[in-house]
Structure 1
Amino acid sequence: MLGEDTLVDELRALAGDGLRMVAEYDRDGYEIRFVRDDVSARLAEQADDIHRDLVLEGISREHLEDLFDAGDLHCTMHRFDDLTAFHFAEAEYRGLFVSVDSDADVPMASFADTCWHSLS
């Protein structure tokens, strides 16, 4: 863990050892708030590409809100064989990225609300 971080502590309480990484981003870059040791090397290789993709997804947020007409978009989720990634786009160029192991049994509503409220 990179110093004390209340959000990371809360997410670890919900996801346990399944928490892989937590990062905040804006247009210019990202800040890693937590990265599990076994994820560090892979993150170093892919972080810039992931950051670029998150910014692009954030730009499309308004389109999705209009398309679904269901209120504000709080997050998107991508589930892969090895991990589940959550993207919380706060604005076009700002947000939070969190990933957990795919087999982590997280309480979805509590997990998502904890992440979303950390951006306020």
Structure 2
Amino acid sequence: MKINENDWPDISAELKDKKPDIVFVEITSPTKEYLIEYLQSEGNNAVFMGVGGSFDVISGNIPRAPLWVQRANLEWLFRVMQEPRRLFKRYFVGNWKFIAAIIKEKHHGKAEENE
């Protein structure tokens, strides 16, 4: 089921009615973060956890990487190879932008300390 912003008020109303303690949100980033923020701002007092594709992996819908790949901390690369169209941009463009922003911020902070 695809969720869009028009569905958010209905989701919020259902959560208010059912009053769950924990809500797992398994939709893509950054939509899940925006949805969680919206639901909290609407007064939903559950603990929200963005779980990404965890349930797909646990249920066996998406295979886990071989154990040696997991031990080498390369499961992310295994996932990119499984779904290159969906994940390539996230890992090879988005992550580099994030790393560059951190380096810039760290460098900027050191420049201010030296002034």
Give the TM-score band, short-chain normalised: under 0.3
Q: Give the TM-score normalised by the residue count of structure 2.
A: 0.26
Task: Identify which of structures 1 and 2 has the higher relative contact order when contacts are C-alpha pairs closer than 8 Å and 6+ apart.
Answer: 1
TM-score of the aligned structures, taking structure 1 as reference length: 0.25
Which has the larger helix fraction? 2
Q: Which has the larger radius of gyration?
A: 2
- Structure ranking higher in strand proportion: 1
